[in-house]
Structure 1
Amino acid sequence: MSYAIAAALQTAVFQALATDVALSSLIGGAVYDELPEGIAPDTYVILGAETTLDRSDADGDGAEHRLIVSVFSSAGGFSQGKQAAAAVSDVLHRADLTLSRGRMVFMTFEKAVAKRDTVSGLRRIDLKFRARVEDDLIS
């Protein structure tokens, strides 16, 4: 297994989301790896948890990354959050991201869970994606 591509994948996902015009028009560029201190924007996207599974084979090292991208919104109802979540899905589903190490085999949307966070009162939509990557460095 190779976890070596995890940082390259995270960087590529972040860049794809942060530079997407449609998503930016909805959230004003509020894409985070970690929410900054202070008052949060009304709607924002944050990179979440990740699980990685070995997908190495006789040809080389590879991994399947199951990652979560979350949309949070303080707007009444789910409409604004769902619009942002749809834009996130449009960016990442079947994305052919360029990685600084390794290569993207595929990335697909798996599911979304929309709920109201009982502690913060925010609407939250967790989008789950599956990315298959291969390491191009020869061991």
Structure 2
Amino acid sequence: MSYGAGAALQAAIYQRLVADSALDALVSGAIYDSIPPGTPPGTYVSIGPEEARDASDQVGRGATHDFTVSVVTDQAGFQNAKTVAATVSDALTGATLILARGRLVGLWFVSARARRVEKADVRRIDLRFRARIED
């Protein structure tokens, strides 16, 4: 197994999301790989947890990366959050990302979970994606 391309994958995902004009129009650049200190904007996108598993074979090293991209909003209802989440999904699903290390074999949408975070009175959608990388 190789986790060597993990940082390269995260950087490429971030760059893809930041460069997406439709997503930028919805969140005004509020796309983070770590939430800034203080009060975050009303609606934002955050690259979150990742889990990697060995996908090496006789030909070479590789890994499958399952990662989460979250959409968080303090707007009432889920309509805005779902619009942003769909835009994130469109930007990433099947995307051809150029990695600083390794080669992206494929990138797929896996699942989504929409929920209301009671104590914070926010809506949150966690989108799960799977990337297969050869290192």
TM-score normalised over the length of structure 1: 0.95
Corresponding residue of 1:65: 65
Unaligned runs of 5+ in 1: none
In percent, how many aligned pairs have the same letter?
Answer: 50
Q: Deviations over 1:14-57 (max 9, x none)?
A: 00001110000000010001110122111100011111000000
SS in 1 for 2:4: coil
Unaligned runs of 5+ in 2: none
Alignment of 1:117-136 (within 5 A): 117-135=117-135
**Amino acid of the residue matched to residue 14 of structure 2?**
F
Q: Deviations over 1:72-116 (max 9, x none)?
A: 000110011111100100011011100001100000001100000
Structure 1 CA distance for aligned equivalents of residues 16 and 26 of structure 2: 15
Taking only aligned residues, the RMSD between alpha carbons, in angstroms, comes to: 0.6
Structure 1 CA distance for aligned equivalents of residues 19 and 117 of structure 2: 28
Structure 2 CA distance for aligned equivalents of residues 29 and 19 of structure 1: 9
The alpha-carbon deviation at position 122 of structure 1 amounts to 0.7
The alpha-carbon deviation at position 5 of structure 1 amounts to 0.2
Corresponding residue of 1:53: 53
Corresponding residue of 1:86: 86
**How many residues get paired?**
135
Structure 1 CA distance for aligned equivalents of residues 87 and 69 of structure 2: 12
